[in-house]
Copies of this chain bind each other. A is one copy, B any other.
């Protein structure tokens, strides 16, 4: 018992015995058994973090925000990856909840019925992140992707572009990309426009795919004057293609992506995009789980997607804006 007190810094132990315990622990190489500890105390310092993918560039940023805020709380993130599969998400959640974490942070608002039930019954904070267009299980932290799409449409229209194409994933499970497109089309519709062409692809995003799809869509619809990409990676690929093909950017054609990944900062031309506030989302979610921030009364923390002009969109018509 005294050992337990020393190693947890809880309760009063004389300096002498504390020292003895500590040296004994060190010489024996003793590592306390958190399994037993967790069972006895019914408290576990783990936070389950469930995301669709690690190779996406986007999620490492979120994780960075989470672990930065968790760092001084004694809580530890445990990462689970679903590969965008609801069935896998369900398995991962079951597995994680069986360790009785003290909170769950998971991406997206679309979950299987069983997953929702599990989470609702777990009796711990459940923070759904990235996306706020949907019904919360407990609390949402993120941006509206519908709004992000809509705002980008407004900017594009405002800048005078009229013949607009879209290039994006055809992943039925990438709900956020889908919502951006919905919002984008709504935004265009408000200006009396509609998409002139679309090009979809399967699988992961890469510069190469962005190139290929851009070539394809511009071959099919050569008079397009703007391309909206579902993320920065394929947008950057498209940008490289257009530069090489000699398109005058942003006058002959404009381009925009989504995410605001700073990895691509050194490209010859800065791609117009929307910052998805990834790090901030991670931070806020972690603060809630850690109890640093109070739960918002309306179960929602909505951040604003931030437009980043870059160099691939014209200044708005009739403005002197850079």
Contacts and interface: CB of A to CB of B under 8 A. Distances in A.
Contact of A55 (B36, B64, B97): B64
Interface secondary structure of A, over-half rule: helix
A264 B207 CA distance: 6
A13 to B, nearest CB: 20
Interface in A97-120: 97-100, 117-118
Interface residues of A, number: 49
A54 B263 CA distance: 13
Given A35-B39, A79-B79, A98-B32, A237 B209 contact: no
A33 interface: yes
Copies in the complex: 2
A31 B98 contact: yes
A208 to B, nearest CB: 4
Contacts of A122: 31
Interface centre among A98, A237, A266 (most CB of B within 10 A): A266
A321 to B, nearest CB: 24
B100 A266 contact: no
A99 B207 contact: no
A209 B264 CA distance: 11
A63 interface: yes
Given A60-B54, A64-B55, A81-B67, A265 B35 contact: no
Given A36-B39, A39-B39, A266 B207 contact: yes
A201 interface: no
A36 B32 CA distance: 16
A275 to B, nearest CB: 16
CB-based closest 4 A-B pairs: A207-B266, A208-B266, A54-B60, A34-B98
18 contacts: A29-B117, A29-B118, A29-B121, A31-B94, A31-B97, A32-B98, A34-B98, A34-B100, A36-B39, A55-B60, A63-B81, A67-B81, A76-B95, A206-B266, A207-B264, A211-B266, A240-B266, A240-B268
Interface of A: 29, 31-36, 38-39, 44, 54-55, 60-61, 63-64, 67, 76, 78-81, 94-95, 97-100, 117-118, 121-122, 206-211, 233, 237, 240, 244, 262-268
